Chain A
Amino acid sequence: MDALINKRIKQVLKGDKDAFAEIVDLYQHRLFQVCFRMLGNRHEAEDIAQEAFVRAFINIHTYDQKRKFSTWLYRIATNLCIDRIRKKKPDFYLDAEVKGTEGLDMYSQIAAADELPEEEIMKLELQDRIQYEISRLPDKYRSAIVLKYMEELSLQEISEILELPLGTVKTRIHRGREFLRKQLSRQPNFL
């Protein structure tokens, strides 16, 4: 697989744009999944995952073929996701009135999005529930947890993707697990 990828990359480097399509085919689901789990929204995830491939194409000459291509690609995607998450926060004014509502401002919207009332949580389907809990993780822990449990990557690979020391990755995963434990233990019969 690595040999095939390196061959395609060489073709792209020589200007053969179509060779890139095969690279996209091979990695599209993995990259889309990371973006979806990080952002919690299919539409945004598609946009960011596409953007990650475009960036990879433009900067392909900076990729070091001695290293793993997927690591490099994941790094581009997670960085874009984290940028998007950070940009989203101050993107709206909290006290602005929400269109089509009377007297409802963004505070109530965030409360609705961030913390559902218990009876609402209980009504969620399991998959929605998982995504809901993941989306409440602080983004530092979220990227580590998503890469570890949803992409099933090794701690070493995660450390290379996030460009963090191995010890830091472990700490983030530990804290992420504790965070989720506290979330879930508040609803006693969550499973």
Chain B
Amino acid sequence: MNACPERIVHLMHEYLDGEISREHELELKSHLQSCVDCQAHMHELSDVVAFVKGAAHVEAPTNFSQNVMARLPKEKSHAGVSRWLRHHPILTAAALFFLFMSSALFSNFHEEQQFSFTKQENVVVEGETVIIPEGQVVKGNLVVRNGDVRIDGELDGNLTVINGSKYMASTAVITGKTEEINEVFDWLWFHIKDGAKEVVSFFEKEETK
């Protein structure tokens, strides 16, 4: 048997795999007819296959399914959330967008710590206080950030003070609305109202056209 080429054993396995070509099969058969040892080898391999195939089908124990179901993890609430996120990518994107937008707004509130105000004529600035001197009339809106306002004269428009206070002399006149904003939420609200007003005024302009 040692004299037989290894190729013959390989052909036997090809045969057992059911993947042997017509040519190879003829080659194997003609060899087996002339070689008793290889015949025995082939027989033994066929017996192995029959032996292994003789294994009885094994069935899972009763209650197997119930036991599996009992072992499944209880769905945690975050699993539900993550599944929801997976199934609603657009809403997830929208939620993320709002999150980032609002956080940008919050950080703006803290970053904008510099003193600033709307440039108007007849306004005097002393340190971080904007003053409308007595007898002067300022036309238009005035916004002051991170500073105070003292009004001795007249303001013909709205006054908004962000992170500051306003002092009014008895002579002071403000024809528009006055607003003081100190809290983050007021700041946010102000932005929303501002945005809404712009939208409204945009439509109003459209209408007047």
Contact of B65 among A28, A33, A127, A174 (CB under 8 A): A28
Interface string of B1-35 (1 = CB under 8 A from A): 00000000110010011010000000000000000
Q: Is B99 on the interface with A (CB-CB < 8 A)? A: no
Report Cα–Cα, A13/B84, bound state, in Å. Answer: 10
Contact between B52 and A145, CB atoms less than 8 A apart:
yes
From 65 to 87 in chain B, residues with beta carbon under 8 angstroms from any chain A beta carbon are 65, 67-69, 71-73, 75, 80, 83, 86-87
Q: Is the interface of B mostly helix, strand, loop or mixed?
A: helix
Report Cα–Cα, A177/B10, bound state, in Å. Answer: 12
Q: Please name all residues of chain A whose beta carbon is closer than 8 Å to the beta carbon of B188 when the two chains form the complex.
A: none
Contact between A17 and B75, CB atoms less than 8 A apart:
yes
Report Cα–Cα, A170/B194, bound state, in Å. Answer: 74
Closest 7 CB pairs of A and B: A32-B60, A28-B60, A174-B13, A149-B52, A33-B58, A53-B68, A180-B48
User: Are A24 and B68 CB-contacts (below 8 A) given A29-B60, A32-B60?
Assistant: yes
Contact between B48 and A49, CB atoms less than 8 A apart:
no
Please give 14 more A-B residue pairs, beta carbons under 8 A apart, in addition to A50-B68, A177-B45: A28-B68, A32-B60, A46-B67, A53-B68, A54-B68, A54-B72, A54-B73, A131-B55, A134-B55, A149-B53, A155-B17, A177-B13, A178-B45, A184-B44
Q: Please name all residues of chain A whose beta carbon is closer than 8 Å to the beta carbon of B55 when the two chains form the complex.
A: 37, 127, 130-131, 134, 149-150
Q: Is A101 on the interface with B (CB-CB < 8 A)? A: no
Q: Is the interface of A mostly helix, strand, loop or mixed?
A: helix
Contact between A184 and B64, CB atoms less than 8 A apart:
no
